[in-house]
Amino acid sequence: MGQDSNLICVQELAARMDAPGMRLLDCRFDLADAASGRRSYRKGHIPAAVFADLNEDLAAPVSATSGRHPLPAADTLATTLGRLGIDNSIDVVVYDANSGAFAARAWWLLRWLGHDNVRLLDGGYERWVASGHRVVSGDEKVEAEAFLACPRSDKILTTSELSSNVDAIASMRLIDARVAARFRGEVEPIDTVAGHIPGAANVPFQCSLNDDGSWQTKAELDALWNRVLGDDKERAWAVMCGSGVTACHLAISALEAGFTEPRLYVGSWSEWIRDPTRPVGVGPGPNPLMGPADMT
Q: Tell me the pLDDT band of 292, cut-offs 50, 70 and 90.
A: very low
pLDDT at 286: 52
Q: For residue range 130-148, list pLDDT tens digits in order.
A: 999 999 999 999 999 999 9
Overall domain count for the chain: 2
Q: Are residues 144 and 36 in the same domain?
A: yes
Q: Are residues 240 and 147 in the same domain?
A: no
CA-nearest of 36, 57, 37, 65 to 105 is 57
Q: Tell me the pLDDT band of 2, cut-offs 50, 70 and 90.
A: very low
pTM: 0.95
Q: Tell me the pLDDT band of 287, cut-offs 50, 70 and 90.
A: low
Beta pairing, strands 263-265 & 201-202? unpaired
Q: For residue range 172-192, list pLDDT tens digits in order.
A: 999 999 999 999 999 999 999
Mean pLDDT of 95-123: 97
Q: Are residues 140 and 226 in the same domain?
A: no
Is the residue at 92 inside a domain? yes
Q: Are residues 122 and 232 in the same domain?
A: no
Is the residue at 72 inside a domain? yes
pLDDT at 233: 97
CA-nearest of 82, 77, 84, 14 to 50 is 84
Asked about 241 being catalytic, the answer comes back as yes
Q: Are residues 126 and 161 in the same domain?
A: no
Q: 113 pLDDT exceeds 50?
A: yes
Quote the domain boundaries for residue 178. 154-272
Q: Are residues 108 and 183 in the same domain?
A: no
Distance separating alpha carbons of residues 229 and 243, to the nearest angstrom? 23
Q: 119 pLDDT exceeds 90?
A: yes
Are residues 54 and 33 in contact, defined by beta-carbon separation less than 8 angstroms? no
Is the residue at 234 inside a domain? yes
Q: Are residues 212 and 139 in the same domain?
A: no
Q: Are residues 11 and 76 in the same domain?
A: yes
Q: Tell me the pLDDT band of 86, cut-offs 50, 70 and 90.
A: very high
Q: For residue range 205-228, list pLDDT tens digits in order.
A: 999 999 999 999 999 999 999 999
**What mean pLDDT is reported for the chain?**
94
Q: Tell me the pLDDT band of 19, cut-offs 50, 70 and 90.
A: confident
Lowest mean pLDDT among 23-37, 124-138, 274-288: 274-288
Distance separating alpha carbons of residues 194 and 192, to the nearest angstrom? 7
Residue 191: C-alpha distances to residues 46, 90, 196, 269, 295 (Å): 33, 37, 11, 8, 22
Among the options 27, 207, 241, 248, which is catalytic? Answer: 241
Query: What proportion of the chain, given as a percentage, has pLDDT over 70?
Result: 95
